[in-house]
Amino acid sequence: MKRIGIMTTGGDCSGLNTVIHRIVRGAMLRGWAVYGILDGTDGLCANPPHVIKFDADTLPIENARLSGSFLHNGHARVLNFETAAAQGKIQEFNKRLYDGLKSLNLDALILVGGNGSLSLAWANRATYRDLQLICIPKTIDMDMPMTDRTIGFDTAVQQLTSFCDQLMLTARSHHRWFVVQSMGRDCGQLALNAGVAIGASAILIPEIKFNTDSLVEHIKKSSADYGIIIVSEGISLRGHSGRPADMISRKLTAAGIVNRTAFPEHTQRAGDTTAADRILATRLADCALHAIENGETYVMTSLTDNECKTVALSDFVAAGETVRDPKIPDLMTSNAYVSPDDPLLDVAHDMGIYIGEQK
């Protein structure tokens, strides 16, 4: 009987509980034992590791739609890759991870994480040398190469869309503009998709240069006197500091445009998992279980052209635009961004949305 482990790492998002539930269901149908590692690498470093053994009732199906992670994603200020790097203890940390995995006697580990977690897994791949490592991509940022979708993205778009829908009503009542700051780090996918969904008046993302004078002119020429301007958290404005939405708001105020800022913050990482994310989680879980059966290791599940398949972690790292991690100086993470050819950019432009100076 195979023994497999599941671990969620990095930031949380909706869909994690769905993928955990589907992995457990599929594994138990195969007669495998499934162990959930609590608190990610925190729990793995404990002696003994903090784990639970799943049975059919551990995570009820009605709870699989909930946001967050049933297994948790770790504590702040404990020894993890970031704090280990800061303290010069990476080798010690990796040894503790290896010893924790060794003590569990697993045949395979399914790691559910974002681009940072997967880049770390490949950079420290010797830690997983005695088992099969299968990775599943999740992030609300949609900043991972070699997959068309990541678990959590669709729900985050829906959460941000719903937030803006409510603001639109009060914006209309007061003849006012709202500058809404989205998550997404250095990738504009979340802002772009939600902005198109709500019919935003402007969408500012890190990938496309914008001119605040052009933005102001666009708003002043609008046929309406209210609306939503979505600003991705990764944008910058030369000569200005502070939160991006505040910077844009000050520019609008100086031009006589009545506006307010709004910050949905972590509500974008919450909310009942949408049907699209549940289906994606189920398909990627199924793909991961087949990869274990096929003896694969150091791979990531991927959805490409509506086909679920596995890709090598080495290819994942090589395919993205690699940048140095600000918190782990020796780590290069693999990133994806909004492409200049993204069809949504043309759609936004055709719908009269200001998206910068590229279009």
pTM, rounded to two decimals: 0.97
**Mean pLDDT of the residues in the chain:** 96
Domain ranges across the chain: 3-152+273-319, 156-269+340-350
CATH number assigned to the domain covering 156-269+340-350: 3.40.50.460
- Please say whether the beta carbons of 333 and 317 come within 8 A: no
The highest-level CATH class for domain 3-152+273-319 is alpha beta
pLDDT at res. 358: 72
The two domains 3-152+273-319 and 156-269+340-350 share their CATH topology (first three levels equal): yes
Query: Catalytic site residue 141?
Result: yes
What's at 251, amino acid-wise? K
**Active-site entry in 12, 141, 143, 277:** 141
166 burial class (0-12, 13-18, 19+ CB within 10 angstroms)?
Answer: exposed
Q: Is the per-residue pLDDT at 79 higher than 80?
A: no
Indicate the angle between helix axes 275-293 and 153-174, nearest 10 degrees: 170
For residue 359, name the pLDDT band (cuts at 50, 70, 90): low
Task: Specify the pairing of strand 3-8 against strand 108-113.
Answer: parallel
Half-sphere exposure of residue 297: CA atoms within 13 angstroms, side-chain side: 14
The beta strand positions in the chain, using DSSP E, are 3-8, 33-37, 51-53, 108-113, 132-137, 177-182, 202-204, 227-232, 259-262, 299-304, 307-312, 321-324, 332-335
- Please say whether the beta carbons of 220 and 201 come within 8 A: no
Rg (CA), the chain: 22
Q: How far apart are CA 131 and CA 298, in angstroms?
A: 10
- Please say whether the beta carbons of 133 and 281 come within 8 A: no
304-322 in b/e burial notation, b at 16+ Cβ within 10 A? Answer: eeeebbbbbbeebbebbee
More confidently predicted of 327 and 140: 140
Beta-ladder partners of 109: 5, 133
Q: What is the pLDDT of residues 179-220, one digit of tens each?
A: 999 999 999 999 999 999 999 999 999 999 999 999 999 999
Mention every residue, 6+ apart, whose C-beta is less than 8 A from residue 33: 1, 2, 3, 4, 27, 53
Q: What is the pLDDT of residues 314-340, one digit of tens each?
A: 999 999 999 998 888 889 999 999 999
Q: Average pLDDT of 265-280? A: 98
